[in-house]
């Protein structure tokens, strides 16, 4: 009997891989089911900016040929959504900004090329906060993304589209980018797994830059094993990215054995803040205690410069954004608003092309880099950033990983924080330190509060993604949080 469409869209990538290789399902069936689900639900959710239907079906047919020939790679035939800050030759790349409306890249991002070479199926380009600047996915120039668990709530940001697509069964896996928590925070709000690799583990070539010293690309998935599978497919040195590390990529799935005996987990006293919701605090505390019951040793640690991570980030990231976004002037590509002089053309193009949050960050960054303020702001921020990294370096002498909440709250209502940027920025208070230090972090579902997902964050040593995936997998195996799905109308 044919497999029901809803069953096909709820499988993990690991399950799909087994069934594709056993010829129980075809890649075309899998892609068709996902495209149908997108057609049914995405008008209400808004996870996609561009659906690549014809591309997906052609890739799926090619994947079936590879499987039949015994030439399947781990990602062959797996349906994937791509955050719309990743360049693709066969679909627009807009960064959810009007200034890049209709832009077509002449090349693929390295991660896109690597997935394409493995035979992955691209369902479409997923929605995001404009230029990845935001914590709620309300800053997209085209449409707001709605949380599949409660459509009156945000999905988190900036990678809200990729997170919502996986949570709603509109992609098996997706790729996002994380500059200050933009993978982990939406993963937490949407009840899926989100992995930010170490800075340099994954090539940033072809990623539309926000803050170049912070940006990192990583996967969203329904299981830890799936995140390990996708990381293995995209990680590795890239000569086109001078910041990518020339290190061997381990077999991340080989480390997933469920055994936590002897693992030392740091619990930092600084990872509790005023305003943390009681339901979130209870769920995270229960998750940490559960890890201890599985054999892990809990070690109290201190990361004393944590309180400075947020202000340090909001000097560093806007400053780098100001430099990166200077290229959008209407001359070489993207939107142009003609004016009598070149200067006026620049001003009108940028004035009409950029949204309010992008303008806010450009102004903050330009101010921090301006004459007379560069040393007082940007240089001082880099010194504090060094202290934040040093805190983590000292912690690694005592622990193998650090556990913390992913966010101090569950997903908040759409519109609740748009008039209060400071409260919006506080959504990332627990995720930003990892970006400042360049370390890996994974967010995993660990419970619910008021019917909405709560997430545990596991932070690890540089280039030790295997360790945090190992810990996350052990927790996932012994709980059922990752099996929960949003109550969409065609699910039983």
Block residue for tokens 């280039």: 463
Query: Strands 193-196 and 264-268: what pairing?
Result: unpaired
Report yes or no: 456 and 403 within 8 Å, Cβ to Cβ. yes
Strand 121-126, strand 79-83: pairing: parallel
Of 135, 158, 203, 221, catalytic: 158
Shortest CA distance to 134 belongs to which of 91, 83, 88, 203? Answer: 83
Which residues make beta-bridge pairs with 127?
none
Question: 407 catalytic, yes or no?
Answer: no
> What DSSP string describes 3-27?
PPHHHHHH--HHHHHHHHHTTSS-H
Q: How many CA atoms lie within 13 A of 276 on its CB side?
A: 23
416 secondary structure, DSSP code: S
80, part of any domain: yes
Handedness of CA 492, 123, 233, 19 (dihedral sign): positive
How far is the C-alpha of 174 from the C-alpha of 121, rounded, in Å? 11
User: Residue 119: which domain range?
Assistant: 5-264
Backbone angles phi, psi at 443, to 5 degrees: -105, 130
Please report whether residue 221 resides in a domain. yes
Non-local CB neighbours of 262 within 8 Å, separated by 6+ positions: 295, 297
Q: How many domains does the chain have?
A: 1
The pLDDT tens digits for 40-80 are 999 999 999 999 999 999 999 999 999 999 999 999 999 99
DSSP 423: H
427 as an active site residue: the answer is: no
- Maximal C-alpha separation, the chain: 72
Q: Is residue 269 situated within a structural domain?
A: no
Side-chain-facing half-sphere of 122: CA atoms under 13 Å: 28
Residue 20 lies in a domain: yes
Residue 423 lies in a domain: no
CATH of the domain at 64: 3.90.1300.10
- Dihedral sign for Cα 301, 307, 309, 310, please: positive
* Tokens 């591309």 belong to residue: 55
| Best CA proximity match to 160, nearest among 195, 124, 184 | 184
**94: closest CA among 103, 107, 82?**
103
User: Does residue 464 belong to any structural domain of this protein?
Assistant: no
Residue 227 lies in a domain: yes
Catalytic residue among 26, 83, 125, 221: 83
Alpha-carbon distance 111 to 125, whole Å?
A: 14
Residue by residue, pLDDT tens for the chain (492 residues) are: 334 567 999 999 999 999 999 999 999 999 999 999 999 999 999 999 999 999 999 999 999 999 999 999 999 999 999 999 999 999 999 999 999 999 999 999 999 999 999 999 999 999 999 999 999 999 999 999 999 999 999 999 999 999 999 999 999 999 999 999 999 999 999 999 999 999 999 999 999 999 999 999 999 999 999 999 999 999 999 999 999 999 999 999 998 998 999 999 999 999 988 889 999 999 999 999 999 999 999 999 999 999 999 999 999 999 999 999 999 988 888 899 999 999 999 999 999 999 999 999 999 999 999 999 999 999 999 999 999 999 999 999 999 999 999 999 999 999 999 988 888 988 899 999 999 999 999 999 999 999 999 999 999 999 999 999 999 999 999 999 999 999 886 543
What is the reported pTM? 0.96
Catalytic residue among 182, 244, 322, 427: 182
Domain assignment present for residue 70? The answer is: yes
Whether 398 sits among the annotated catalytic residues: the reply is no
- Return the sign of the alpha-carbon dihedral for residues 51, 53, 58, 60: positive
């Amino acid at each position: 009997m044919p497999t029901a469409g809803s069953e096909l869209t709820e499988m993990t990538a690991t399950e799909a891989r087994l069934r594709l290789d056993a010829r129980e399902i075809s890649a075309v069936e899998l892609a068709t089911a996902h495209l149908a689900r997108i057609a049914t639900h995405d008008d209400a959710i808004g996870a996609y900016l561009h659906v690549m239907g014809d591309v997906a079906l052609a890739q799926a047919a090619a994947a079936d040929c590879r499987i039949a020939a015994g030439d399947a790679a781990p990602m062959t035939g797996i349906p994937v959504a791509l955050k719309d800050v990743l360049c693709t030759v066969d679909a627009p790349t807009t960064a959810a900004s009007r200034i890049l409306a209709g832009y077509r890249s002449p090349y693929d991002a390295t991660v896109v090329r690597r997935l394409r070479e493995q035979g992955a199926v691209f369902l479409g380009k997923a929605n995001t906060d404009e230029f990845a600047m935001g914590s709620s996915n309300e800053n997209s120039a085209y449409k707001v993304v709605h949380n599949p668990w409660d459509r009156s709530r945000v999905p988190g940001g900036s990678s809200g589209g990729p997170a919502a697509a996986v949570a709603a069964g509109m992609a098996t896996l997706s790729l996002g980018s994380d500059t200050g928590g933009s993978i982990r925070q939406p993963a937490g709000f949407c009840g899926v797994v989100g992995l930010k690799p170490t800075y340099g583990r994954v090539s940033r070539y072809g990623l539309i830059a926000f803050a170049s010293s912070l940006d990192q690309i990583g996967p969203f998935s329904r299981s830890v094993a799936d995140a390990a599978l996708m990381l293995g497919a995209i990680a590795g040195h890239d000569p086109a990215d001078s910041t990518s590390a020339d290190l061997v990529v381990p077999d991340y799935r080989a480390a997933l054995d469920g055994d936590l005996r002897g693992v030392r987990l740091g619990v930092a006293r600084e990872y509790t803040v005023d305003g943390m919701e009681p339901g979130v605090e209870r769920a995270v505390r229960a998750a940490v205690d559960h890890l201890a019951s599985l054999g892990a040793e809990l070690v109290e640690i201190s990361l004393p410069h944590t309180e400075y991570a947020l202000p340090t980030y909001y000097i560093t990231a806007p400053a780098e954004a100001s430099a990166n976004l200077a290229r959008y002037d209407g001359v070489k590509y993207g939107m142009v608003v003609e004016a009598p002089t070149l200067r006026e053309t620049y001003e009108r193009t940028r004035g009409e092309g950029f949204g309010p949050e992008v303008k806010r960050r450009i102004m903050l960054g330009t101010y921090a880099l301006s004459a007379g303020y560069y040393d007082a702001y940007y240089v001082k921020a880099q010194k504090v950033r060094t202290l934040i990294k040093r805190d983590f370096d000292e912690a690694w002498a005592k622990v193998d990983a650090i556990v913390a909440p992913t966010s101090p709250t569950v997903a908040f209502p759409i519109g609740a924080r748009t008039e209060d940027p400071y409260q919006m920025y506080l959504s990332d208070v627990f995720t930003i330190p990892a970006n400042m230090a360049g370390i890996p972090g994974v967010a995993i579902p660990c419970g619910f509060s008021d019917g909405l997902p709560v997430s545990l964050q596991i932070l690890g040593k540089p280039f030790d993604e295997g360790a945090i995936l190992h810990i996350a997998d052990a927790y996932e195996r012994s709980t059922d949080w990752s099996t929960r799905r949003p109550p969409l109308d065609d699910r039983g």
